[in-house]
Structure 1
Amino acid sequence: MNPHIDADGRLRHLLDLERLPAERLDALLRRAQAFAEGAQAPSALAGAAVCTLFFEPSTRTRLSFQLAAQRLGAHILNFDASTSSATKGETDLDTFRTIQAMGVRGFVVRHKGDGAVAALAEAANPGVAVLNAGDGRSHHPTQGLLDMLTLRQAKGDDFSKLKVAIVGDVKHSRVARSDLHALRKLGCGEIRVCGPAALLPDDGTLAGCTVTHDFDAALDGVDAAMMLRLQRERMVEGLVESLDDYHRNYGLTAARLRRAAPDAIVMHPGPMNRGVEIADDVADGPQSRVLAQVANGVAVRMAALEALLG
């Protein structure tokens, strides 16, 4: 059984993009585009309570979910693990059940553990929706959706002729995994993955991708370069010799960007390590869509919350 869909065919949870049907993914993108263009749904979640249940730090994801829920008329409860009963030993499941018992209908959950959000979804009462805001290295579905929305806005709906490069620390990146699932579902023509061998997964994640350690070759003629942050908090020491070496081999500079298509766009999920995976003049340059991604995050999260709770 697909955990995303209930017995009536409605979207029940949003846990990943791997198992989300392609038609649902497309519908969410189209609704998000409508919100990005100014569509209003001020009372779609009127009377509903949404909890941002974050066991990991966040800036963009937490704030954009809060703003999205607010724009839809929901009541918002902000959970901070560092000031909660979790510090007294309360389990994640007991925390979830306690807040659920208060009548909360929607949970936006971020967690450091792979599969932790899906485990909470299994404990959800009927009518309660769980939305994955990032779990471990596994999934970050709304980031994948907002990245696809940003690509669509720049390149159109037909991905079949697109060449997209995902560059950097793919091994530790839940964003990269969600982007890869979404790009495949949308029929991307060519997906190139580039990074040091130690930072590329060997678990089948890259099936169907063109894999290279040569950044210059990966950039040749691409329509979009998706740069990834070095996730130093998730990696063991020694995977990268030095930040200077990494920037020299895998940092996106203006000179390197000229290898891409003239109208190529540059993306980054943030937070950026400036001078490591991306240079200032590229991050802030005319081809950058980094702030567009942030703006699209609100629209995508409005669409997801509306679909789950509206």
Structure 2
Amino acid sequence: MRNLLSMNELSTTEIKNIIKRAIEIKNGDYKPFQEKKFVANLFLENSTRTKLSFEMAERKLGIESIPFDAMGSSLSKGESLYDTCKTLESIGCDALVIRHPDDAYYESLEGLNIPIINGGDGSGSHPTQSLLDLMTIYETFGTFDLDIVICGDIRHSRVAKSNFQALTKLGSRVKFVAPEVYQYEHEDYSYVNFDDVISSVDVVMLLRVQHERHDNVMSDVIDEYNSRYGLNETRYNKLKDNAIIMHPAPVNRDVEISSELVERDKSVIFKQMENGVYTRMSVLELILGRE
């Protein structure tokens, strides 16, 4: 695998192999690269989990993380993303992890001779988040023959799009819950009423309401969001005994999920974060070549 740009590019076999290797790594079956590797993490959008998870994965594998500050770089002087990346290639980086506010930013980087791992592009794709979600689901159920509901800001969610692509490819049945203003129109997307499916689904995947991508036209939706579209105590009590709650975080507590449910028994939100390190280690091994 040369790059990891979107889940659409991965076959079911590749997805399963990445997850299998991540589980092996979680069980302690890994070793640092013997030959020094250098990776630059270019985060042009704010990030906590993805950025630090990649940095932790790199350190565990003995990879040297090259610090990059967008505001202190020549990007702030008008340099193109391509030229910045070409510079990092020229000074000896072995791969780039990039998060960018523009959809499909990587299409402008086709002239690079080093791999790109997409850390999230606008409202487009977030492949490593999808992979860590898939790992968490597989660890729990041992199968993808499941009923899954994805709830929230579908229109702006790269997580929703990436997970729909991967989960349906793997055999899951995926439905969506969202206020009309947050819906993303796609011929394969099916929107349902949350209360109609809450007692029958295996996975409830909640999404953050992305205030930064909205104009100030959402206040009327936010005021009633939890009661109409969020996971609250009443809905929690209707879940199947073995159902799980997921969220890519950061969490808007008491909006998409009631605060007291974030660490309740059915929640695997922090397990997802833990699995993010192992999944990204698996991807880095694959991109840079296992030794």
Contact 1:111 1:117 in 2 (8 A): no
Cα distance in 1 for partners of 2:214, 2:20 equals 36
Cα distance in 1 for partners of 2:148, 2:97 equals 29
Which residue of structure 1 aligns with residue 68 of structure 2? 79
Which residue of structure 1 aligns with residue 251 of structure 2? 272
1:84-143 C-alpha deviation (Å, 9 max, x unpaired): 2211221111111111110111100000000102432x1211xx1100000010000000
1:153-187 C-alpha deviation (Å, 9 max, x unpaired): 1111x222x11110010110001111111101211
**SS in structure 1 of the partner of residue 191 of structure 2:** strand
1:14 lines up with 2:24 in the alignment:
no
AA in 2 matched with 1:275: D
AA in 1 matched with 2:191: V
Which residue of structure 1 aligns with residue 179 of structure 2? 196
Deviation at 1:21, TM superposition (A): 1.5
Which residue of structure 1 aligns with residue 140 of structure 2? 154
**SS in structure 1 of the partner of residue 241 of structure 2:** coil
Deviation at 1:203, TM superposition (A): 3.6
1:29-53 C-alpha deviation (Å, 9 max, x unpaired): 1001111122122126x31110001
Give the root-mean-square deviation of aligned CA atoms: 1.3
Unaligned residue ranges in structure 1 (runs of 5+): 1-10
Which residue of structure 1 aligns with residue 201 of structure 2? 222
Matches within 5 A, 1:8-87: 11-43=1-33, 46-87=35-76
Which residue of structure 1 aligns with residue 234 of structure 2? 255
Contact 1:220 1:260 in 2 (8 A): yes
**SS in structure 2 of the partner of residue 288 of structure 1:** coil
Which residue of structure 1 aligns with residue 157 of structure 2? 173
- Return the TM-score normalized by structure 1: 0.90
Cα distance in 1 for partners of 2:155, 2:219 equals 13
- Return the TM-score normalized by structure 2: 0.96
| Percent identity over paired residues | 38
Contact 2:39 2:93 in 1 (8 A): yes
Contact 1:110 1:117 in 2 (8 A): no
AA in 2 matched with 1:163: D
Larger displacement relative to structure 2 (300-309 or 240-249):
240-249
Give the number of equivalent residue pairs. Answer: 289
Deviation at 1:78, TM superposition (A): 2.2
